[in-house]
């Protein structure tokens, strides 16, 4: 009990004093995961729009595939990414392994099925009505798509946040491709795992608290956006 209290005590000191190490780890965590979600959305959003608004052969097959991909374990994605970017892999020349970019790539791949699937569900629900209304009021193709995105805005934001929450909390995969190198690729989750194993609880608890706060804030934003949306 005493060790927990003392760890908590020191953890608060670390957070309140804006400890440089804590700060840099949190910053890296956020920049990696936000970049991953951003890159993923560049692909997920158009794909979910296409799937929701256009009827074509194979549409259902793609939707089913994406839904199944959500169940792929993160470590499996980590392994595949590792094999691709390791020195002997097809993308080895880019020397991405154990860099933030390796983590970004793996996290983006992890987030894509989640964001696509959630966006698709939303767009499918409101899409048909918005599409018909926009077109019947004289929207061109692009104007219609823009209107659909605008109408589904809050639900799309929800999809991005869920994707972010998933990747920012990912440990094993991130460690595999990032290497958990201090000052380079050490993010919140990998740091917590390492420090705990070392028996150095202050930093672990401090990061754990921050991660908890992040989860809390994300949840509040989710509630707020869902309350505002349809």
Residues that bind another protein (CB under 8 A): 129-130, 132-141, 143, 147, 151, 229-230
Least CB distance from residue 53 to another protein, whole Å? 13
Q: Which is nearer to another protein, 52 or 102 (CB)?
A: 52
CA 137 centroid distance within chain:
37
Half-sphere exposure of 121 (CA within 13 A, CB side): 12
Q: DSSP assignment of 108-157, as one string?
A: HHHHHHHHHHHHHHHHHHHHHHHHHHHHHTT--HHHHHHHHHHHTHHHHH
As measured in angstroms, the least distance from the Cβ of 150 to another protein is 8
| Least gap, CB of 139 to another protein (angstroms) | 5
- Which CB, 50 or 79, lies closer to another protein? 50
The secondary element (H helix, E strand) that includes residue 27 is: helix 20-53
DSSP type of residue 5: H
Long-range contacts of 83-91 (CB under 8 A, 24+ apart): 85/177
Among residues 138 and 199, whose Cβ is nearest to another protein?
Answer: 138
- In the complex with another protein, which residue's Cβ is closer, 46 or 141? 141
Query: Least distance from C-beta 147 to another protein, angstroms?
Result: 7
Complex with another protein: residue 141 or 172, whichever CB lies closer: 141
Sign of CA dihedral 149, 153, 156, 157: positive
- Smallest distance, Å, CB 132 to another protein? 6
Q: Which of 183, 173, 26, 188 is nearest to 103 (CA)?
A: 173
């Amino acid at each position: 009990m005493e060790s927990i209290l003392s760890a908590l005590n020191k953890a608060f000191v670390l957070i309140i004093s804006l400890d440089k190490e804590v700060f840099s780890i949190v910053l890296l965590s956020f920049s990696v995961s936000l970049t991953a979600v951003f890159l993923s959305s560049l692909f997920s959003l158009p794909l979910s729009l296409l799937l929701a608004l256009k009827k074509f052969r194979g549409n259902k097959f793609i939707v089913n595939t994406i839904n199944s991909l959500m169940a792929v374990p993160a470590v499996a994605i980590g392994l595949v990414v590792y094999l691709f970017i390791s020195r002997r892999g097809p993308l080895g020349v880019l020397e991405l392994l154990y860099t933030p970019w390796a983590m970004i790539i793996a996290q983006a791949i992890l987030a894509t099925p989640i964001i696509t699937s959630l966006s698709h569900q939303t767009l499918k629900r409101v899409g048909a009505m918005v599409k018909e209304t926009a077109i019947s009021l004289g929207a061109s193709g692009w104007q219609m798509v823009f209107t659909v995105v605008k109408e589904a805005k809050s639900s799309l934001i929800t999809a991005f946040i869920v994707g972010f929450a998933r990747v920012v909390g990912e440990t094993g995969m991130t460690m595999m491709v990032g290497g958990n190198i201090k000052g380079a690729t050490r993010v919140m989750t990998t740091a917590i795992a390492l420090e705990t194993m070392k028996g150095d609880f202050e930093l672990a608890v401090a990061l754990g608290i921050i991660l908890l706060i992040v989860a809390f804030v994300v949840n509040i934003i989710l509630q707020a956006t869902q309350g505002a949306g349809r």
